[in-house]
Amino acid sequence: MTEDHIIRLRSHSPSGEKRGNTSWVQCGSCDGWFHATEDIVSRGTVKLHCNHCHTEFLPSQARKIVLA
């Protein structure tokens, strides 16, 4: 899986600053966003399911992925 479409949010944050813990996937078919765990994305072989258009695709086929 290439990294071109994956954005990894910074893991370190100064003490007292809030950083969200939720990763998001943008569907390659409908551009809708849904949230998924880093685990299912990093496996690379489990097809993701867009809950908006119900397309299934591998993480490599996502429009964009933001990993928290």
Nearer to other proteins by C-beta: 1 or 46? 46
Radius of gyration (C-alpha) of the chain in whole angstroms:
13
- Please, which residues bridge with residue 6 across strands? 65
Could you tell me the smallest distance in angstroms from the CB atom of residue 61 to other proteins? 13
Q: Is 8 in the site for other proteins (CB under 8 A)?
A: no
Map residue 6 onto helix, strand or coil. strand
Site pattern 20..59 for other proteins (x: CB under 8 A): xxxx-x--------xxxx-xx--x--xxxx-x--x-x---
Pairing status of strand 6-8 against strand 64-67: parallel
Map residue 63 onto helix, strand or coil. coil
Could you tell me the smallest distance in angstroms from the CB atom of residue 32 to other proteins? 10
